[in-house]
Structure 1
């Protein structure tokens, strides 16, 4: 028994009609291809015979004709069966494709929706059948997910802002305690340790705020930017740290890597990659920074040497608080948010982030962003620089 649902009825009616039509055509072809005259021709050379002899001859001829008819019937049926099998496959494919087309549209629309565009909906129109019910269910799920993501980002942002006040109060209390005449050595030592931890918490809050902003993807300060210029600025700002570790810096910065986005976020992206390359490098190691682009993409690649890493280990670096070779809370100078912030900024700008363990040791980070056409003056300035 068919339950209420137009898709079920549509499938049943269409396929039943298709097979019924195939059967009718099969019978018609069999009838047309098996037509045989059953008349028995007279033999003019034969003389008068007895009735019994004529009856025996007639039966013999009728038997031969019957055998020929059965043979033709079998051949015609086999040919018709093959023809209708092919036609039934084509017909079934056509009907199934026509009925399932709305489901393919729903599937394609669902695949396009991710954490960055949860505000989009399928909004399927048409009769209130199972397909529309499925689409409405998916829309309801997307609405709940969007609300959950928004609440999470709002909580992270609000909590980070609210924690600024107690941090400032602690810093002020430390300054007051140290400013007293002849503070005890233990007080100075404790104040130094507390300042270090407060700085670490401060960096962690900065990371949370930036991560929440990047994941929200709602920044209005989009402007035309040169990835090459951002890379040069980041490397110049960390020149002393690079020299302190005796790192061999290799740069390949082209003039065509232009993109459009948030200057603050993209600057932080490049800075995080440079900081990561310095902090997780070995003494007297090397860093390679390459920037190039074409008409569709702008690319930034940062490579470092070091120990051989497992790809499974590297794949987790885009998640918050993931580090290489250390415990979750075991890094003094790192918040564990560097590459997760990079991943969020790249996603917010519609780009791709690829992390690869180099076969000979070290890490390769490749960022690809949508390219933007620069103005003539900007190109001239970039080439001159």
Structure 2
């Protein structure tokens, strides 16, 4: 019923309009009939007189003219009331029966009239879940609904071009910037390999190499973010548990160096998508969970499971307290906490794209991600993806 609210409202509108018109018609007919029926004895007067005389034949006294006229008036009034009552009852019964039939026909006609709108809604949902490349292409008469569908197609066309242009710009910019960064890294590494290089040059080279490495990570993150926001070109069967198990193995070394213990409780969670993007999603979650942790007795918990028609991956950590109003902002590009000090530094400083990439990859797979601040510090991040049977 939620999806057919307009159809129900139109049907009720048709039915109410029909009942109101029928009620007005009955009222007019009742008023006309009431005025048309004679309140005095007319053509049937002789019959009524004859019956009255026969009925009174056995009496000793002959009825007077006044009594006879009064009896005729009473009989005529009774006939008039019965006629009006019968007309009113049958009119109401017929109005109810025809009204129910009119409501059914109204429901069918409203559904037929709203069918193009249902098609527009279905296309909009598919476009929101997959890509902007699909169009409604509604065929039919040039009416308001056709105009709405054409306007929606034009809007999709403009959005598609805008997003494609944005993704191409990011991809091209990332590619063009990667070349000079690679050249800079090579030159710095060659300079550091020189045994005759002074100590201050080595220190400067190490600092520049770290800055260059961070810029490379930023460019890679931008390229991956632009790629994950496009349509998936690869749809392979994968298990979040297997991918998470591999990601935990890779992250264990950095976690041990930061004094963070990683525990995993992984149950089968089959999905369909791009395994490389899913692997990057889990790696980013683990990297953030290890990076923003406590310096002593830190921990990260990874869980995966399949619930009904969805697969869930949960990464929980012990870290600094996160204000509730700042949680949603963490998924925006280049957004960090106001107090973004990493209590357990696991390496180079991030580019601020980790959770943004997680959200883009999850949405590209038809899922979503949410985060909840833990009362004693840290976050609980849950990724939900559509599940598939093996």
Does the alignment reach a TM-score above 0.5? Answer: yes
Structure 1: gaps spanning 5 or more residues? 1-10, 375-385
Which residue does the alignment assign to 1:46? 56
Pick aligned residue for 1:346 from 362, 369, 379? 362
The reply on whether 1:274 has 2:290 as its aligned counterpart is: no
Q: How many pairs were matched up?
A: 354
Which residue does the alignment assign to 1:301? 314
Structure 2: gaps spanning 5 or more residues? 1-9
Contact 2:300-2:318 at 8 Å conserved across structures: yes
Which residue does the alignment assign to 2:6? none
Paired residue secondary structure (2:136): coil
Please list, as runs of the form range in 1=range in 2, the aligned pairs for 1:130-169 lying within 5 A after superposition: 130-169=144-183
TM-score normalised to structure 1 length: 0.75
Which residue does the alignment assign to 2:350? 334
TM-score normalised to structure 2 length: 0.75
User: Per-residue deviation at 1:348?
Assistant: 2.4
Indicate how the Cα distance of structure 1 residues 54 and 230 shifts in structure 2: closer, same or farther if over 3 A, else same. Answer: closer
The reply on whether 1:318 has 2:331 as its aligned counterpart is: yes
- Separation of aligned partners in 2, 1:109 and 1:212: 24
- Tell which structure's C-alpha radius of gyration is larger: 2
Indicate how the Cα distance of structure 1 residues 155 and 55 shifts in structure 2: closer, same or farther if over 3 A, else same. Answer: same
- Separation of aligned partners in 1, 2:232 and 2:119: 28
Pick aligned residue for 2:120 from 106, 109, 118? 106
Paired residue secondary structure (1:145): helix
User: Per-residue deviation at 1:202?
Assistant: 0.7
Paired residue secondary structure (1:322): coil
Which residue does the alignment assign to 2:259? 246
Contact 1:247-1:285 at 8 Å conserved across structures: yes
- Separation of aligned partners in 2, 1:192 and 1:205: 20
Contact 1:203-1:335 at 8 Å conserved across structures: yes
Contact 2:270-2:387 at 8 Å conserved across structures: yes
Please list, as runs of the form range in 1=range in 2, the aligned pairs for 1:1-385 lying within 5 A after superposition: 19=18, 23=22, 39=44, 41=48, 42-43=51-52, 44-46=54-56, 54-70=68-84, 72=86, 89-114=103-128, 116-175=130-189, 187-220=201-234, 222-254=235-267, 256-283=268-295, 284-293=297-306, 297-326=310-339, 333-371=349-387
Q: Considering only aligned residues, what root-mean-square deviation do their CA atoms show, in Å? A: 4.0
Indicate how the Cα distance of structure 1 residues 308 and 82 shifts in structure 2: closer, same or farther if over 3 A, else same. Answer: farther
